[in-house]
Structure 1
């Protein structure tokens, strides 16, 4: 190695942000290991790289003793004083050795270390870049599918869209540009692993933040989201400004804002409701588009009984119970939905039971 090598390390320090001294320390350690491996040596050796010229020197390191038991590790006081008369017992002698073909081995080892450290540094930079974007939205290009996973190019690295994070019925073709929610960034031996999602409720939230200035500015807040990806989302919003309608802000003029998000989510339906601190009002709104007649709540059990007209019952419950299920997730309340007819039958049965009990008592 020579001065050009040192200059190359200076350049790497500037471009990659890897300190030259850290690289040189790592190279010295690696060359020491390579020396012992290639020359079958168990002796103590010390490798020193001149920081100015790049020259590599190998030193045999031995301890001065009275009686030598291991030639590779020890040197007699008599022999040590031939090198320097000032040596005493217990001192360490460092003597330059020049093994054959060592320059080639040192150069190869140095190159391997530098390449490895650059790769590690680049992985670290990528990890730092994306770990700060956890819970954020990102745009990627579909590259390939392997088994059930979809690999998406993010520019500097790839992300993995797992089977549970893919929207039902969505087909991912090579070259498609898609928006993704960064769920987690992990450090692995092969570099950072970026796990993304198309099903996470956070994707809907971030899409609205991008599309609705009032949310970005903090005037309107998304208080809760319940989502069944690919089918339906319910979202509760609140306005800190009495003059700003939170639902209208999210829907946009003639539905322009929400339409952009529905298109991105391939037609997923989105119900936007106004959040309320009154649980009765909030639960009634959450069951939209059904019209609710009344809501009775039990604060202790966090349970609500909702009454609707007979013709509204199926709408309130939804296909396979979806509307009621999402409303329960959105509000955090257990919701029991009954029609007026069911309520009358229940009241009638309760009245009959009461009369029977009174008859028995009499």
Structure 2
């Protein structure tokens, strides 16, 4: 290896952000293996060979290392004190003596091997840089450009890497047009054998959360908190918010002036409806609010079973349950409570039935 090669190597190391020590140590280790394979002799072995590269002029030296002993039993790894003293008077017992064994044509072999090692290290370094860059975006939003659709997967360009949105991570009914820019939620970033692998989603509740953080300064600043989210992508989401400042209305902050903030999110989600709920530590209040837009008359909670009985006006029953049970299903996910809804007339009829049964039981006891 000549000085020009070393200079070029240092430039590559600088540009790619690779550790200079790491690259030289890796090359030296590779050269030890090459020496062992092609030049090892009865006086050397892999265990007692080291390769040194001069990091300024590129000179390469191979040394057989031997331990100084009084009596030599292994001529491959040991040297007598007497022989060591002939080389240099400074040697003493247990010192390591380096005996140069550099083959004449080893420089040419070394140069070829070094190029291969450097190329491999550059690939690994670039993969690690890309992985680290995208790992920081895990659980966050990233913007990508739609490339193509193939076998149900939508392929997206994220800048330095390409990924795909799987069928289960796509919003039902959403169309993806070539060159369209879309926001995606980064579910996970893995470092595989072929580099960074990024799992993205358009259906994850985290997408709604991050979109609100981008649109609502009060959430970004921590004044308003998102306590929970339930979502059926492409159809409807419910989001429970709470304010740490009594002077700030959490729901009003999320809706924004003339509804602009929430409308921007709805537009990004291609028309998905969003219900903004005021969170409460009181389960009765929270459950009642979660069933919005229906108006709730009564909530009875059962802590042991984490369930609640809810009563609404007769004309509010279908609204509370929602189309195909969606409203109550989302409310249950949002609050983490099982919810059983009854209309006022159903609840009254049930109460009468219970009273009737109690009366019959009392009569039987008296008899």
TM-score by length of 1: 0.87
Aligned-residue offset at 1:64: 8.2
Distance in 1 of aligned mates of 2:245 and 2:73: 88
Seen in structure 2, the aligned counterparts of structure 1 residues 216 and 90 have a Cα distance that, compared at 3 Å, is closer
Task: Kindly tell me the number of residue pairs found equivalent between the two proteins.
Answer: 360
Aligned residue for 2:30? Answer: 30
Residue 252 of structure 2: which of 248, 254, 259 is its match?
Answer: 248
SS in 1 for 2:293: coil
Residue 204 of structure 1: which of 205, 208, 212 is its match?
Answer: 208
Aligned residue for 1:21? Answer: 21
Aligned-residue offset at 1:117: 1.8
Aligned residue for 1:340? Answer: 344
- Give the 5 Å matches for 1:152-163: 152-163=156-167
Seen in structure 2, the aligned counterparts of structure 1 residues 33 and 291 have a Cα distance that, compared at 3 Å, is same
Distance in 1 of aligned mates of 2:353 and 2:344: 14
Aligned residue for 2:128? Answer: 124
Distance in 2 of aligned mates of 1:155 and 1:331: 38
Greater alpha carbon shift after TM alignment, 99-108 vs 271-280: 99-108
Cα distance per residue 1:126-156 (max 9 Å; x no partner): 2222222222111112334565544432212
CA RMSD in angstroms, aligned pairs only: 3.0
User: Where does the alignment leave 5 or more consecutive residues of structure 2 unmatched?
Assistant: none
Cα distance per residue 1:171-216 (max 9 Å; x no partner): 3344221111122222222222222221111110110111112222
Aligned residue for 1:192? Answer: 196
Seen in structure 2, the aligned counterparts of structure 1 residues 243 and 97 have a Cα distance that, compared at 3 Å, is closer
Residue 145 of structure 2: which of 137, 141, 148 is its match?
Answer: 141
Distance in 1 of aligned mates of 2:92 and 2:220: 75
Aligned-residue offset at 1:286: 0.7
Greater alpha carbon shift after TM alignment, 344-353 vs 226-235: 344-353
Residue 178 of structure 1: which of 167, 182, 196 is its match?
Answer: 182
Distance in 2 of aligned mates of 1:82 and 1:75: 14
- Give the 5 Å matches for 1:341-360: 341-360=345-364
Distance in 2 of aligned mates of 1:323 and 1:89: 84
Seen in structure 2, the aligned counterparts of structure 1 residues 332 and 85 have a Cα distance that, compared at 3 Å, is closer
Q: Does 1:223 align with 2:227?
A: yes
- Give the 5 Å matches for 1:320-331: 320-331=324-335
Residue 274 of structure 1: which of 272, 278, 287 is its match?
Answer: 278
SS in 1 for 2:331: helix
Distance in 1 of aligned mates of 2:33 and 2:150: 39
SS in 1 for 2:24: helix
